Amino acid sequence: MADFPAQVFKSYDIRGKVGSELNEQLVHDIGRAFADFLPTEGPVAVGYDMRPDSKAYATAIIAGLTEQGRDVWDLGMIATDMIYFAVGSNKLAGGAVVTASHNPGEFNGIKLCREDAIPVGEFSGLFGIRDAVKAQSFKNVSNTGTVANKDIVEGWIGHVLSFIDTAKLKPLNIAVDAGNGMAGEIFAELEPYVPWRVKEMYFEPDGTFPNHEANPMKSETLVDIIKEIKQNNLDGGIAFDGDGDRAFLLDETGKVIPGSAMSALLADYFAGLNPGATIIYDVRSSKYVAEVITAAGGKPFRTKVGHSNIKQAMREHNAPYGGESSGHFYFKENWFADSGLIAAVIGLYVATINNVKLSDLRKKYTKYFAIEETNFVVEDKDAKMEEIVNAYPLAVSVDRLDGVTLTFKNGSWMNIRPSNTESLLRLNVEAESEQELDALVSGVSEYFTK
C-alpha cells in the first residue's frame, strides 16, 4: 500500500492525526485485520468517544469486522474502561474503542483487546494487524456478521460500585472535571447511587475540548477545578482525562494526590483485603509504594512501564492490584484492566471509612520528594544512558529492568527510560529531601544538554 502510515501503530494502541494519518478506509481495514486476528469465536464489542470523527470511525471498524464474518456489539459512546468490562463480563472475543485518550482534538485512535480484556499491543498482535492491513491480506469468508446495539452503562456502574461497601459511604461535596471527555457522560450515571453532592464541570462531551485539554497530568488543566474547590470549601475533586480511564483526586486544599501516592493508597487497600498477595508497581513509582505494600503484609513486584507489562505481571502473579505513577490503576476483578472511575471511587471510599480528609491521605502516602517525569530530546538514547551510568560510579546499584535505574547510598534514585516512539529520554528522580532532589536533578540534567 503506497504511503502506508505505519507510524500510527504504536506500542500499545493506534493513534494519529485525523485525515493525514487516519481515515475511514484505513480504519475499516484495521477492523478486517482485527477480526482475522482474534483467536476466539464470538462477538466483538465496539465503542467510541466524543471526538467529532469517532462515530464514523467506529462505523468503519464495525463494517470491517462484519465483512470478515464477526458479529458486533455496538456499545455507542463509552469511556475506554467500559470496553474491558463489556468484553470480560460477557465473554466476548474482543473489543475496540475509538479514542485518542488525552491527546488534542486533531488526533484520534483505536485501543484493542482480545478475550478476557487481554491487551493487543506491539508484541501481542498489533504489529501483525498492521502488516495485514499494509499487505491487504485478509481471510476469505462466506458469511457476513450482524450488529446488535447494547447498553452496558447500568451494568458498568454496578460493577464499579462492587469494589466498595456503598452502605458505608457518607455525604461529600466534590467537584468533578470531565474536561468535555467521556467521564461526564458516565459519572452522571453514578451520581444517583452515591451520597455525594457533585459540582459538574465540563460534563458536555465535546472532542474539540473547548475549555481545556483533558489531561490531568498537566497542571494547567487543573486551574478551574482547584479554583472551584477552594472558593466553595469542597471536600475535594476528581479530574478525568479525555477517555475516562485515568482520574486524579484533588484534596480539599486543591492539591493533587500524585500518581505514586494514589498507587500507594490503592496498594495498601488491596494488600489489606488480600493478605500475602503480590502487588504490582512500575519502575517510575515512589519507593514508598513498595514500603507500603510490605508493611501491609503484601509482596511488592516491580515491573516495566506500560499497561501490557503491568497486566501481564498481574496475571502471572494473580495480583489483586497494579499501579503506574502516570495514573493508570489496574484491578484483578476488572479483568486486570485499568479504570479511572474505579480508582477514584475507592479513593473517596478510603477517606470516608477512615474518617479522614483527602489531604490526610495525600500526606500519609507521600513520603519522599520527586519530580514530574521530564523529557529530554536525545538522538542516541543508548549512548546517552551509558554516559550517565558511567558518570555516577558511586551508585550502589544499576538496574536495567526498564531503561536504567541508579540508586544511591542516601536512598535517592533516578530512572532514565527511552521512549518507544520518539527521540526522547524520560527522567524520573526521587530523594529523601528537597535539597538532595535538587542536587541530583541539577547534576543529571547537565548531561542532557551536552
- What pLDDT sits at residue 422? 80
Same domain (yes/no): 13, 136: yes
One domain, residues 356 and 427? no
pLDDT at 318: 98
* Residue 352: inside a domain: yes
pLDDT of residue 2: 58
Parent domain of 307: 259-364
Contacts of 148-152 with C-beta under 8 Å, sequence gap 24+, read 148/43, 148/71, 148/72, 148/73, 148/74, 149/73, 149/74, 149/76, 150/45, 150/73, 150/74, 150/75, 150/86, 151/75, 151/76, 152/75, 152/78, 152/82, 152/85, 152/86
pLDDT at 220: 95
Q: Do 332 and 296 sit in the same domain of this protein?
A: yes
- Same-domain check for residues 116 and 66: yes
Say if residues 35 and 68 touch (Cβ distance below 8 Å): yes
pLDDT at 1: 56
- Residues 184 and 313 both lie in one domain: no
Residue 186: inside a domain: yes
**End residue of a domain, out of 338, 364, 390:** 364
230 and 359, same domain (yes or no)? no
Q: Which of 150, 170, 198 is the last residue of a domain?
A: 150
pTM for this structure?
A: 0.95
Please give the average pLDDT of every successive group of 10 residues along the chain, which has 450 residues.
86 93 97 98 97 97 98 97 98 97 90 96 94 97 97 98 98 97 96 98 96 93 98 98 94 97 98 97 97 98 93 97 95 97 98 98 98 94 96 96 97 94 91 97 91
The CATH number that applies at residue 380 is 3.30.310.50
Examine residue 1 and state whether it is found in any structural domain, yes or no: no
Query: Could you report how far apart the first and last alpha carbons of the chain are, in Å?
Result: 41
* Residue 28 and residue 113 in one domain: yes
Alpha-carbon distance of 274 to 276, in angstroms, equals 6
- pLDDT of 395 reads 95
Q: Is 101 annotated in the active site?
A: yes
Answer yes or no: is 47 within a domain: yes
Domain end residue (candidates: 120, 150, 180): 150
The answer to whether the beta carbons of residues 425 and 417 sit under 8 Å apart is yes
236 with 283, same domain: the answer is: no
The torsion angles phi and psi of 39, rounded to 5 degrees, stand at -80, -15
The answer to whether residues 56 and 89 belong to one domain is: yes
What are the pLDDT digits (tens) for 87-141?
999 999 999 999 998 888 899 999 999 999 999 988 899 999 999 999 999 999 9
Do 168 and 99 share a structural domain? no
What pLDDT does residue 105 have? Answer: 86
Whether residues 357 and 412 share a domain: the answer is no
In a domain, 298, yes or no: yes
Query: Which residue, among 338, 298, 304, 305, has the nearest Cα to 319 in the 3D structure?
Result: 298
Domain with residue 136: its CATH number is: 3.40.120.10
| Residue 173, domain member (yes or no) | yes
290/387 Cα distance (integer angstroms): 29
Number of domains the chain contains: 4
β-pairing, 172-177 with 236-240? parallel
Task: Single out the catalytic residue among 54, 101, 260, 325.
Answer: 101
Tell me: do 126 and 12 sit in the same domain: yes
